[in-house]
């Protein structure tokens, strides 16, 4: 199996490790008082498929403020920072890539982040953009029909 340059493994193939990473991330963000939510493919998978999407090579989350504080908290808790940009940062733990969007409104209306809907996954409740159906339609068009893509092979 070939890995992404950051050494990550498809969360779909390692859901127990992906869940551990996401739970650790979520607890760190909540303990720091940072509003966080699922985005992009992770959000789509949890809403449509009740889990991670095969071929989606990362876990996508967004935050509203507190990027420097969150970055420090993640590193102090064993996340490896692979790069920080204006819009997002990449962290790796358990060989899975976590993509944190500091500016979730970069190419999406800020209306989706004024309040949050909820999705439950493995006993935990996660925030997702509101209204979730319109967010997913805006991002993916026909989001209800799975559209498998090729897995990145390097």
Condensed to tens digits (0 to 9), the pLDDT of residues 39-51 reads: 999 999 999 999 9
Percent residues over pLDDT 70 in the chain: 90
pTM beyond 0.85: yes
**Is the preceding omega at residue 131 within 30 degrees of 0, hence cis?**
yes
Domains of the chain: 11-140 (3.30.460.40)
Condensed to tens digits (0 to 9), the pLDDT of residues 88-113 reads: 999 999 999 999 999 888 889 999 99
Helix orientation angle between 15-31 and 67-76, rounded to the nearest 10 degrees: 130
Interatomic CA distance for residues 91 and 71, integer angstroms: 9
The residues of the chain scoring below 70 in pLDDT are: 1-8, 148-154
Q: What is the predicted pLDDT for the residue at 8?
A: 65
Q: Are the C-beta atoms of 56 and 12 separated by less than 8 Å?
A: yes
């Amino acid at each position: 199996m070939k890995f992404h340059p950051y050494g990550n493994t498809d969360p779909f193939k390692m859901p127990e490790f992906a869940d551990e990473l996401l739970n650790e991330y979520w607890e760190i963000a909540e303990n720091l008082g940072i509003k966080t939510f699922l985005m992009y493919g992770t959000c789509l998978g949890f809403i449509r498929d009740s889990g991670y999407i095969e071929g989606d090579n990362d876990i996508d989350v967004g935050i509203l403020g507190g990027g420097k504080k969150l970055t420090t908290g993640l590193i102090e808790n064993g996340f490896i920072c692979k790069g920080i940009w204006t819009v997002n940062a990449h962290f790796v733990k358990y060989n899975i890539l976590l993509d944190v969007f500091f500016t979730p409104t970069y190419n999406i209306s800020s209306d989706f982040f004024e309040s949050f809907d909820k999705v439950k996954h493995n006993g935990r409740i996660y925030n997702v953009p509101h209204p979730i159906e319109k967010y997913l339609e805006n991002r993916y068009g026909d989001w209800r029909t799975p559209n498998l893509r090729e897995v990145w092979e390097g």
